[in-house]
């Protein structure tokens, strides 16, 4: 069932992605065109001060260089090399980009020198570039002058794309962490539910063989528990009162199962506020108490469970009798480790868990802030 819901959710996300691509592409094209128009206007404002007619050649040169470098860098270099730590390829791209821009600059300046009127203010710039020669563009003496001009042209568009890519990479990382977190939570819950259901079904099987009159009520309780574990517990949080009701149903099943052979002492408050809690976060401790208490040794076995609510804080305590031999072993194993993980995930710095393993008693105390 969970797999089907997950598949439907993934299909829905794919559909939403297709819709987004389909309807945002024209907007993206319009935004890109607007960017180049604004940059071209900015370039022309600078060059028109010297020559309003011939300045367009420098504007065209800069736009051709910047646009080609921008799209190659955006769609081939940033994601494939820079963000993957392949800095050598990134440096090579910068060097080739500078070479491409410098070549265009030199060729346009050669054309301007041959066609500009002697009194044009752009002649000084064109003459300076041409006299330096094509090789002079790459000389140490001229490199700083040209490279600063090169960065000035590329910085506006590339900085926008760089920031967008950084945000996109960050969102991908956050989404991946969230998906991994959800997968881990579902996995931990999947470890809890089957274990509980198998134990209860075994109990009913034994009662059926004994033709116990309490088998019918026990089946009804089990139906309620299965409804909770299969449907309601899939929600991120449930009402604390509903979780306590689930625990009471479970304890009723165990009371029917053990009868008077096991003493079960309950002190459970009824929450006055509509507090919410992560489902099945404390239940495994109770199940563990029966597993290592009455199930291990029914002789003089007992269970003590206390659930109290103080404002928005939940106080939970479960204790069970245990033999001296079992007390020296590690209780809970994987189950307890999973609960600790869930507590760290859902209640970081909002819980206090104390586990005491004494000679004849095993006690778990948990305090939860349910804000």
| pLDDT (tens digit per residue) in 143-184 | 666 777 777 777 766 677 677 777 777 777 777 677 666 666
State residue 316's pLDDT score: 97
Q: Would you call 320 helix, strand, or coil by DSSP?
A: strand
pLDDT given at position 309: 94
> Over the chain, what is the mean pLDDT?
77
pLDDT over 50 (residue 11): no
Q: For residue 22, what pLDDT is reported? A: 46
- 288, 301, 351 from 320: Cα distances, Å: 9, 8, 22
Question: What pLDDT digit, counting tens, does each position of 209-249 carry?
Answer: 777 777 787 788 788 877 887 777 778 899 999 999 999 98
What's the whole-number mean pLDDT along residues 302-312?
A: 94
Share of the chain above pLDDT 90, in %: 13
Residue among 274, 244, 270 at smallest CA distance from 371: 274
Is the pLDDT reported for residue 207 higher than 80?
no
pLDDT over 60 at 87, yes or no? yes
Radius of gyration of the chain (CA): 36
Which of 36-50, 94-108, 336-350 is predicted with the least confidence, judged by mean pLDDT?
Answer: 36-50
Q: Which 3 state secondary structure label does DSSP give 318? A: strand
How much is the pLDDT for 352? 95
Q: How far apart are CA 335 and CA 338, in angstroms?
A: 5
Within the chain, all domains assigned CATH 3.30.565.10 are found at: 214-369
Distance, CA of 370 to CA of 274 (rounded, Å): 10
For residues 51 and 122, the answer to whether their CB atoms sit within 8 Å is yes
Q: Strand 302-310 to strand 263-268: parallel, antiparallel, or no bridges (unpaired)? A: parallel
Place 196 in a pLDDT band, splitting at 50, 70 and 90. Answer: low
Q: What is the pLDDT of residue 83?
A: 66
Average pLDDT over residues 110-135: 79
Q: What is the mean pLDDT of residues 59-79?
A: 81
How much is the pLDDT for 335?
A: 67
pLDDT at 61 over 60: yes
pLDDT of residue 298: 60
Q: With b meaning 16 or more CB within 10 Å and e meaning fewer, what string describes 342-371?
A: bbeebbeeebebeeebeeeebebbbbbebe
Task: Tell me how far apart the alpha carbons of residues 128 and 119 are, in angstroms, rounded to a whole number.
Answer: 15
Which CATH fold topology does 214-369 show?
Heat Shock Protein 90 (3.30.565)
pLDDT for 304: 95
Q: Which residue has the higher pLDDT, 186 or 20?
A: 186
Residues 259-278, mean pLDDT to the nearest whole number: 89
Predicted local confidence at residue 369, as pLDDT: 94
Q: Which of 149-153, 326-330, 342-346 has the lowest mean pLDDT?
A: 326-330
- Compare 138 and 367 and report the one with higher pLDDT: 367
The whole-model pTM stands at 0.50
Lowest mean pLDDT among 101-115, 162-176, 182-196: 182-196
Q: E strand or H helix at 45, and its extent?
A: helix 2-47
The pLDDT value recorded for residue 358 is: 83
């Amino acid at each position: 069932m969970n797999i089907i819901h997950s598949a439907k959710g993934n299909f829905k996300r794919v559909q939403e992605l297709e819709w987004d691509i389909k309807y945002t592409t024209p907007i993206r094209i319009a935004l890109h065109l607007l960017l180049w128009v604004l940059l071209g206007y900015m370039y022309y404002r600078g060059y028109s001060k010297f020559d309003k007619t011939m300045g367009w050649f420098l504007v065209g040169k800069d736009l051709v260089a910047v646009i080609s470098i921008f799209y190659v860098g955006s769609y081939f270099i940033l994601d494939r090399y820079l963000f993957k730590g392949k800095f050598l390829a990134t440096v090579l791209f910068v060097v080739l980009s500078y070479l491409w821009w410098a070549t265009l600059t030199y060729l346009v300046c050669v054309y301007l020198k041959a066609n500009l009127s002697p009194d044009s203010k752009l002649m000084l710039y064109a003459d300076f570039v041409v006299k330096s020669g094509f090789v002079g563009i790459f000389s140490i003496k001229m490199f700083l002058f040209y490279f600063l001009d090169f960065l000035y042209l590329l910085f506006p568009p590339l900085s926008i794309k760089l920031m967008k890519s950084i945000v996109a990479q960050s969102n991908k990382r956050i989404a991946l962490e969230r998906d991994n977190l959800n997968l881990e939570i579902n996995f931990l819950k999947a470890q809890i539910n089957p274990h509980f259901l198998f134990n209860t079904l075994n109990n009913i099987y034994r009662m059926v063989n004994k033709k116990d009159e309490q088998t019918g009520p026990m089946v009804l309780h089990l139906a309620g528990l299965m409804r909770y574990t299969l449907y309601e517990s899939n929600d991120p949080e449930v009402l604390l009162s509903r979780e306590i009701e689930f625990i009471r149903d479970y304890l009723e099943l165990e009371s029917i199962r053990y009868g008077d052979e096991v003493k079960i002492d309950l002190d459970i408050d009824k929450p006055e506020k509509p507090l919410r809690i992560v489902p099945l976060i404390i239940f495994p401790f109770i199940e563990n108490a029966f597993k290592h208490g009455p199930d291990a040794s029914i002789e003089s076995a007992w269970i003590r469970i206390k659930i109290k609510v103080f404002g928005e804080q939940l106080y939970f305590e479960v204790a069970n009798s245990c033999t001296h031999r079992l007390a020296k072993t590690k209780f809970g194993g994987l189950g307890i480790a999973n609960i600790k993980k869930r507590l760290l995930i859902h209640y970081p710095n909002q819980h206090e868990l104390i586990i005491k393993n004494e000679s004849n008693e095993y006690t778990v105390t948990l305090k939860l802030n349910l804000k």
